[in-house]
Amino acid sequence: MKTISAKDFSSLINVSPHLIYKIIKEHNISVVPLGNKNALPPESIRKILELRGFKFKKHNSKPLVINVFGMKGGIGKTSIATALAEGSSRLGFRVLAVDLDMQGNLTQSFNMKKHGQPVLYHVIVGDKNIKDVIIPVTPNLHLLPSSLDNSQIEHVLNSKQSINITNFFDEMFDSIMSDYDLIVIDCPPSIHKITVCASCFATENLIPINADIDSFDGVVMTVSEIEKIERSFKNLSIKINYKIIFNKYDAREKLSLNIMGSISERKNLKDNLLPIVIRTNTAFKNTKADGEYIFDLKKSTAKEDCFSLISELTGLTDWLARGKSNIRDLETTVA
């Protein structure tokens, strides 16, 4: 069972670990042993947050959809998508991770085999129902895997007489929408019909940028394509939201500062740059090589930064800022 320590959770919501233990005792919330301390399973964290009024699903039907997308490869899309999906599931979110890249890197990140599994392609051609291709990673985290079979998707979509691009995934996922609070998509670095469908489906498109010129050019190209898609559907008033996350950031390196400066010179990039960064850290490579996750680590800046990203994108940050009095009310509630 994947858990979060009481210390990490208390740090995330900015209260003392002592207060968390008081809440646990007052509300008879279950814990699991973690070494010589206790940790909180996802359902316990969900209960604590719901007790204070946090809404895991902002709307009754459609979950929050985050599409990790970029026109350049090697920018950390899969690492970020994995951390978002896996970390959010530990916080009590019911998560579906969707691997759209035929290379199946996200599938591999969850230690799932890439061969012999039915994938999205089989749903599109009618061989499988969407529920038939989703596999559980943990009780709170499910995966729609990918394989080389998905390389045929574009040919299938191009052969169809008509396709409702703006509602493609809404219609395909209609029967499972109520099962999840969050859908995280790992998109391939290209513009095809399936990636346009994903961009339109997303509540937020998350574009990683690294500290190099090619990565910056890739972000400029990605944003340009998003704006082009919006213009092509202007009669439908389609708005494609996007945010930029600086990945592998190192304040000691001149290039990181130069790229940050280049972003600030372009209003459309500056206005959509998230106020947090993911700092350079070998933890992403090491945990992947060991078949582990960032949130398995006891202490890491990568874990801290990914927690901050999850909090920002899921609304936890805004909720905490608006409801600090509610958080402080916990002290009087359990005193």
CA distance to 78, 169, 286, 315, per residue, from 282 (Å): 15, 35, 6, 28
- Tell me, what DSSP letter sits at residue 190? S
- Residue 326: predicted pLDDT: 56
Q: What is the average per-residue pLDDT within 321-332?
A: 60
Element spanning 40, H or E:
strand 37-40
Measured distance CA(250)–CA(257) in Å, rounded: 8
Q: Which residue has the higher pLDDT, 298 or 211?
A: 211
pLDDT band at 7 (very low <50, low <70, confident <90, very high): confident
Residue 312, both tokens? 């920002």
**Per DSSP, what are the bridge partners of residue 208?**
245
Domains of the chain: 1-51 (1.10.10), 52-334 (3.40.50.300)
Q: Could you read off the pLDDT of 30-57 as tens digits, one per residue?
A: 999 888 888 999 999 999 999 888 999 8
- Residue 299: predicted pLDDT: 86
- Residue 114: predicted pLDDT: 74
pLDDT band at 226 (very low <50, low <70, confident <90, very high): very high
Residue 56, both tokens? 């895991």
Q: Residue 302 pLDDT > 50, yes or no?
A: yes
Say which residues have a Cβ less than 8 Å from residue 297's Cβ, sequence separation at least 6: 283, 287, 303
Q: Residue 105 pLDDT > 60, yes or no?
A: yes
pLDDT band at 60 (very low <50, low <70, confident <90, very high): low
pTM to 2 decimals?
Answer: 0.94
Q: Residue 134 pLDDT > 80, yes or no?
A: yes
**Among 91-95, 103-107, 222-226, 233-237, whose mean pLDDT is lowest?**
233-237
- Residue 329: predicted pLDDT: 57
For the chain, the average pLDDT equals: 91
Residue 61, both tokens? 């039907």
